[in-house]
Amino acid sequence: MSEILNMETICKSYYMGEEEIEVLHNVNLKVHSGEFLSILGPSGSGKSTIMNIIGCLDVPTKGKYYLSGLDIESYDEVALAKARNKEIGFVFQSFQLLPKSSALKNVELPLVYAGVPAGERRERAASMLEKVGLGDRMRNYPNQLSGGQQQRVAIARALVTEPTILLADEPTGALDQKTGNQVMELFEEINQEGRTIIMITHDTNIAKYAKRVVHILDGYLTE
Ligand code: ADP
Ligand code: MG
């Protein structure tokens, strides 16, 4: 299977006034196409920092990051945004749906940005919503859906552009245990169809749905 992500001795520092504080230390990580990887660690361990780098929302202070074989260091802001839109589908703890748009409109939105014509857009969004089990809820607004259903809409939105990686930050953090497990079963299905998933979590019970788990503690990553 081909390598789609390669981090080589990545460090990340933040500046607090004059002081430089390193929060990721020499992180090495390779991910191959089709993997379902979980990054497990407690609060403050560096999960969001590494997620932001993987998702091209931030750049490392030191080290190399290759995404789909391309060296992120050579990218300017515009190229980074392009890579992000093409390669990464984001799912967040808080769903981040547009409250005044229907489920269908929410899922269509990334295709609007991608310049896909209206008819095709609608069709692709509708079929993605059917796939996540919401075929009969397309016209509903987020506040008419349960938390689990809202997260399914967010998952459909993340997948509709067919990104290389589904990148999820605490995707079950706002859900009760049963609903969280159902969302994980959906992740398993999506992965079985070949999609690469990287999921960040502090919850051991959620991490075990992944086929591979790496641990992060105080900015150090270990298999
Ligand atoms: P997690 O997501 O695992 O809770 P984070 O990646 O958010 O951890 O944070 C890791 C460490 O980096 C923490 O000590 C946090 O205080 C620090 N940190 C995160 N973002 C910033 C920032 N923008 N400026 C300074 N320190 C930060
Ligand atoms: Mg975090």
Give distance in angstroms: CA of 46 to centre of ligand 1.
6
Say whether pLDDT at 8 is over 80.
Answer: yes
Considering every ligand atom, which ligand is closest to the CA of 217?
1
How far, in Å, is the centroid of ligand 1 from the Cα of 25?
Answer: 13
Any idea which ligand is nearest the CA of 216? Answer: 1
* Mean pLDDT, residues 91-115 taken together: 96
- Complex ipTM, two decimals? 0.97
132-185 tens-digit pLDDT: 999 999 999 999 999 999 999 999 999 999 999 999 999 999 999 999 999 999
| Ligand 1 atom closest to the CA of 45, numbered from 1 | 3
49 CA to middle of ligand 1, Å? 6
* pLDDT average, residue stretch 39-63: 95
**194 C-beta neighbours (distance < 10 Å), count:** 8
pLDDT tens-digit readout, 9-32: 999 999 989 999 999 999 999 999
- The ligand whose atoms approach the alpha carbon of 202 most closely is 1
The residue whose CB lies within 8 Å of the most ligand 1 atoms, and thus the one to mutate among 14, 20, 21, 92, is 14
Query: What is d(CA 183, CA 114) in angstroms, rounded to the nearest whole number?
Result: 27
Atom of ligand 1 nearest to the CA of 42: 3
User: What is the dotted CATH code of the domain comprising 35-59+77-214?
Assistant: 3.40.50.300
Q: CB under 6 Å to ligand 1: residues?
A: 14, 16, 23, 41, 43-49
What is the pTM for the complete model shown?
A: 0.95
User: Which residues are CB-contacts of 120 (< 8 A; sequence separation ≥ 6)?
Assistant: 111
Write out the DSSP string of the chain.
Answer: --EEEEEEEEEEEEEETTEEEEEEEEEEEEEETT-EEEEE--TTSSHHHHHHHHTTSS--SEEEEEETTEEGGG--HHHHHHHHHHHEEEEETT----TTS-HHHHHHHHHHHTT--HHHHHHHHHHHHHHTT-TT-TT--GGGS-HHHHHHHHHHHHHTT--SEEEEESTTTTS-HHHHHHHHHHHHHHHHTT-EEEEEES-HHHHTTSSEEEEEETTEEE-
Sign of CA dihedral 86, 70, 93, 62: negative
Q: For a pocket test of ligand 1, which of 19, 23, 167, 199 has the largest count of ligand atoms closer than 8 A to its C-beta?
A: 23
Domain ranges (residues) in the chain: 35-59+77-214
CB 56 within 8 A of CB 83: yes
Nearest CA residue ID for atom 15, ligand 1: 44
Match 């460090």 to its residue by tokens: 11
